[in-house]
Amino acid sequence: MLPTMDLLSGPVSALLSQALSVALSPAFTALGSPISWLELVAFVLAIWMVVCNMRVQVLAWPLALSSSLLYFVLFWSGKLYGEASLQLLFAGLALWGWWQWRRGRPRANQRQGQAEDHRRDQQPARIGRHCRWRWPAACIRPG
């Protein structure tokens, strides 16, 4: 049975190694520094996560998880083990936050089984009429 496992791990290992080498290949160069496909995808997911957080959407949690795991792979391949470990912490916190969001917690004045409206409870305060003078991201209101 052990030789069968070697046959399975060989092609799978080769496939993963090939996929990693493609992901770590440069997509473009910015200011003389190569930017890999993995880094580009992780960055786009992180920006998307920030937009979802601003709009208080549950999609932000899986985006945070996937972005952190991609950054983990990127930092680990660059031998930045401390940064890679930090990304694992972020991934764990994203899992915990997603679980908390989905599970919900009844308030003291809320009956058991009554649904909690996360979106209404966690909406940021409304921006005043002088929004044009503030940071542009603060002007985006949840739909």
Instruction: Spell out the residues 6+ positions from residue 14 whose beta carbon is closer than 8 angstroms to its own.
Output: none
50 vs 140, residue with greater confidence: 50
Find the angle CA(50)-CA(98)-CA(55) to the nearest 5 degrees.
35
What is the number of structural domains in the chain?
1
Asked if residue 116 is part of any domain, the answer here is no
Asked if residue 41 is part of any domain, the answer here is yes
Asked if residue 63 is part of any domain, the answer here is yes
Per-residue pLDDT tens digits for 115-137: 555 444 444 544 444 444 555 55
Asked if residue 61 is part of any domain, the answer here is yes
Domain that holds residue 54: 37-100
| Structure tokens belonging to residue 102 | 């989905």
Asked if residue 22 is part of any domain, the answer here is no
User: Does this model's pTM top 0.85?
Assistant: no
Per-residue pLDDT tens digits for 5-44: 454 567 778 888 888 888 888 888 889 989 999 999 999 9
Asked if residue 140 is part of any domain, the answer here is no
Cα→Cα distances 27→15, 24, 40, 41, Å:
20, 9, 8, 10
Asked if residue 118 is part of any domain, the answer here is no
